[in-house]
Structure 1
């Protein structure tokens, strides 16, 4: 029996492969994933942002007929087709076998599942999506796809965006940063992830960070500022712009960022009520067997057996979440005064509704606040 690979594990493997040197230098083509909206959001939060997304579309009957004609050479693994690609050698013809799972009923069931999911996946890639008809010669399909991937998306932003997202833990900063990075080609800079990468790479600043990570204590602002300044000073951030989240968290850090010369030209505060944050975080669970992540309200486990073995991350305990929220509330008032032109956004709604508000704040002039 073939079981599906958990999304968390699958995307972790994809992320590991895309971080290899050849993918970084030459680019990559991702096929077969994401299959669901959950996977689409998951790859975006991990910074996997495609520049072009192509959907190959054809009538179901055409796809079913194509699938029924597939044959596989068990010796070489080569795939043939009874109509479009039949091998000339009689020896090869004689050993071809029909692969499992291609019957009309099985193919129709797969197509039904695809249609259910694709309508929820497509909104995850606004402005970079193109649908190409696959019901035409493959050469024509190829050249249409090639023409599209050779185009450069033009940003609607009238300036180089330097976006700062402020918000409490669980407010959705990571997802919104990924969406903005995808839409406008910005560099997604997560301060916490940046520090972890510096330690993992054993860089000069990483060695300074190591003792604080080992003792699980706060890293001094002076070291954080050096790591952050080094990243924001790179050419990609200068040319494309950036979206920063996870820093600053208090007034001193805001002054430090300003002193380093990295002043955001758009600042958003994602406001989410305490009850919603508690609900979002304290109900998160992880399956220690598969690594799959669940939420007891939004994504409950499929069976009682799985539910019984789920574990909660200690950082998601209500007491720790409440402590982080209290700290955020104490500092947010001063940050809002420092960033006088900041825009407050209701983060307690659908992620794409939140994104529309953020996008509007980027492409439109800043509002004049009445003192």
Structure 2
């Protein structure tokens, strides 16, 4: 065949490398920056972009109506993620900025401040080295759709837009109780955040604009234009209820800003399901494989198929399988490598269970180039696992499976045909659980980050959570727990 007409096939190793290092996302981000900035020298611009290494830094808008605690939450958030806090007040305090000076002049003359001037002031701050390297949280801006469009036109695009909101009655009550320390500028509240120091209490005064009429006016003004902000950032905004303690609000904000947006990058699932006997690994693997048409790779099933096919390899491992003894790792890895190397696994992806069972096997799998991008641990209490396994039985006539509690045999005649598999005896199940617990901690450390799932619930509920973690990018935290 003419080489010009051959199908272009990308090697699996390239896909693994590109996913690990975010090559697609980097190119996508670079293209966006090129289209916005339109540099005269695109090549040098891209080189400089690589040197910045700032694609993962926080870029957050924190918005919402008055008195939702935006500034308080923003300060706590910046402390937690080590980024820069930007407000209109602290940007205007920069006496060296010509844009800040121009805004002060317009304020003194009671003239309207153009949105473009605000945008240039913000861009000036975002262009500073510290904001480029550590990211930023911008509080209280934009307030209207027009301001949002101006920011977009000059290339200011946040990764996350967080909107704090609460019922109007709550906001009014909060504002009426607000007090300000005239020396430090710290904000307190007569109900929620009253200082213990008598000295500080004597310095507190009511700020301007906190009467009920003024508060209602500001809230109504926000409600009138808020839909424009939602439309401007329809795929990025996330609304959080601010009518709760600030630490709870912070927790929800932190969880959201550490998440990643869905990507259009090519993605091949490579999933490993770990868990004790009876945790439902085989069922979850079958559900995932069926819905997403990826390959279900069961270690035990592959070994049985090799024995049944009477191949040379099957004859070698047959004594181990028939005597229920562990097959040597080198033989198991040979069988697994043959299956994972096939084209369907490379192109469609795979979900594996039953292997690896310890760190030594995990290292061999990794050295062979088979690296998972999702590792789940299905957590089930030992009592539940024993109940699931020791009470299940199989109809020797039809092959149908039953369980004494969850799916009893329909009649005494069928029950008479049922037998319990010897491997499901109390002694064997207990031994298998002990082996699992002896290796689980090291496996978790080896595969960090891992995703823990409470598997002691309805199987379809477990599947829905696993599915959500498969189709959505992993958050920036190192571990996830359900």
TM range (shorter): 0.5 to 0.7
Q: How does 1:63-78 map to 2 (within 5 A)?
A: none
Q: Does 1:357 align with 2:447?
A: no
Match in the other structure for 1:132: none
Q: 2:453 and 2:396 mapped to 1: Cα distance?
A: 36
Match in the other structure for 1:239: 347
Q: 2:275 and 2:448 mapped to 1: Cα distance?
A: 16
Q: 2:341 and 2:404 mapped to 1: Cα distance?
A: 42
Q: Scaled by the length of structure 2, what TM-score is found?
A: 0.43
Secondary structure of 1:176's counterpart equals helix
Q: CA distance change for structure 1 residues 281 and 214 in 2, over 3 Å: closer, same or farther?
A: closer
Shift of 1:320: 1.1
From 438, 448, 472, the equivalent of 1:330 is 438
Match in the other structure for 1:229: 337
Match in the other structure for 2:271: 163
Match in the other structure for 1:315: 423
From 281, 294, 300, the equivalent of 2:402 is 294
CA RMSD between the two structures: 2.1
Q: 2:439 and 2:447 mapped to 1: Cα distance?
A: 13
Give per-residue Cα distances to partners, 1:283-342, cap 9 Å, x unaligned.
112334544322110111233454456432221111211111111011111100001011
Q: Does 1:250 align with 2:354?
A: no
Secondary structure of 1:268's counterpart equals strand
**Partners of 1:190 and 1:246 within 8 A in 2:** yes
Shift of 1:204: 3.5
Shift of 1:171: 0.8
Q: 1:255 and 1:332 mapped to 2: Cα distance?
A: 14
**Partners of 1:166 and 1:245 within 8 A in 2:** yes
Q: Scaled by the length of structure 1, what TM-score is found?
A: 0.55
Match in the other structure for 1:263: 371
Match in the other structure for 2:299: 191
**Partners of 1:341 and 1:366 within 8 A in 2:** no
More relative contact order, 1 or 2 (CA 8 Å, 6+ apart): 1
Q: CA distance change for structure 1 residues 288 and 281 in 2, over 3 Å: closer, same or farther?
A: same
**Partners of 2:308 and 2:314 within 8 A in 1:** yes
Match in the other structure for 2:281: 173
Match in the other structure for 1:9: none
Q: How does 1:1-371 map to 2 (within 5 A)?
A: 159-307=267-415, 310-369=418-477
Shift of 1:180: 0.9
Q: CA distance change for structure 1 residues 214 and 361 in 2, over 3 Å: closer, same or farther?
A: same
Q: 1:157 and 1:303 mapped to 2: Cα distance?
A: 53
**Partners of 2:270 and 2:372 within 8 A in 1:** yes
Secondary structure of 1:280's counterpart equals helix
Q: 2:478 and 2:365 mapped to 1: Cα distance?
A: 26
Match in the other structure for 2:139: none
Structure 2 unaligned regions, length at least 5: 1-262
Q: 1:294 and 1:343 mapped to 2: Cα distance?
A: 30
Secondary structure of 1:243's counterpart equals strand
Q: How many residues align?
A: 217
Q: 1:278 and 1:251 mapped to 2: Cα distance?
A: 25
Structure 1 unaligned regions, length at least 5: 1-154
Secondary structure of 2:419's counterpart equals coil
Question: Higher mean Cα deviation, 265-274 or 155-164?
Answer: 155-164
**Partners of 1:267 and 1:343 within 8 A in 2:** yes
